[in-house]
Amino acid sequence: PPPRCFWQSAELAGLRCETLSVPRQITALQLWEEKVRLHPRLAVIRDQVVFAVRQEYVLLGDQVLVLQPGDEVAIIPPISGG
Amino acid sequence: MDESEDVPKDFIKLKSEKLSVDEVSELVISPYCGAVSLFIGTTRNNFEGKKVIHLEYEAYTSMAETEIKKICRDVRQKWPSVKHIAVHHRLGVVPITEASVIIAVSSPHRTESLEAVMYCINTLKASVPIWKKTSQELGEGLS
């Protein structure tokens, strides 16, 4: 089964959670580009989001992520807690 | 004096009920500590020039707790004498003037707990995946 994808505060894309089918080894940037391919309106927030994989922050760059089935990937908009 | 009786603890809670300053400060009290420092974040009635009716907080809960645990770990590295740390954050609707976050830190002397509390809230705001949505009156400045 493909890795799960978790989407928080996704008012722009109008969805919360979807499952993506991606190669097991993929960079965060490629994962983002796949997401934008499915939801082009997301492109405008690219500079404002960070990724988290298995609940750890990951830079949206060329570092290769090794994903396992069921891994949670979150696209995190600017935070405002506290 | 056997200080191993009072093992340092982190108390982390995300909850939708009203936060209690008494509860949070009592969590960190220790007979070995002469100082308890507190930060209380409360909701303001204005944001970017508009009147705010209430705030609503949501969190990526599992990761928020992980990140707060990291903050506690960092506090203990920077201020080894810190005894207990409590971080309570409210989720859901928080009415104006009520607390959205309470942080309490105890230490034998005051400097460490004061500095650690400031570090906790600053780092929480920078790294913990929690968001607020403001319910605002549109097109109305402050009266």
CB distance B131–A80 less than 8 Å?
A: yes
Residues of chain A neighbouring B100 (CB-CB closer than 8 A): 82
Which residues numbered 7-66 in A keep a CB inside 8 Å of some CB on B? 8-9, 52, 55, 57
Look up the ipTM and state it.
0.80
Per DSSP, A77 falls in state P
Q: What is the pLDDT of residues B9-54, one digit of tens each?
A: 999 999 999 999 999 999 999 999 999 999 999 998 888 888 888 8
Rounded to the nearest angstrom, the minimum Cα separation between A81 and chain B is 5
Total structural domains within chain A: 1
CA B73 to CA B84: how far, in whole Å? 11
A22 lies in some domain: yes
B91/A contact by beta carbon, under 8 A:
no
Q: State the binding site of B.
A: 109-110, 125
Range of the domain at A62: 3-76
CA B89 to CA B101: how far, in whole Å? 4
What does pLDDT average to in each consecutive run of 10 residues of chain A (82 residues)?
39 56 86 85 82 88 84 85 93
- Alpha carbon B42 to its chain centroid, in Å, reads 10
A20 lies in some domain: yes
Which residues numbered 53-82 in B keep a CB inside 8 Å of some CB on A? 57-60, 62-64, 66
Instruction: Give the CATH number of the domain where residue A58 resides.
Output: 3.10.20.30
Q: pTM (2 decimals)? A: 0.86
What beta strand segments (E) does chain B contain? 10-15, 35-42, 46-47, 50-59, 85-90, 92-95, 99-107, 130-136
B54: CB partners within 8 A, 6+ apart: B43, B93, B94, B95, B96, B135
Residue B69 vs residues A16, B10, B73: alpha-carbon distances, Å: 26, 8, 6
CA A31 to CA A71: how far, in whole Å? 13
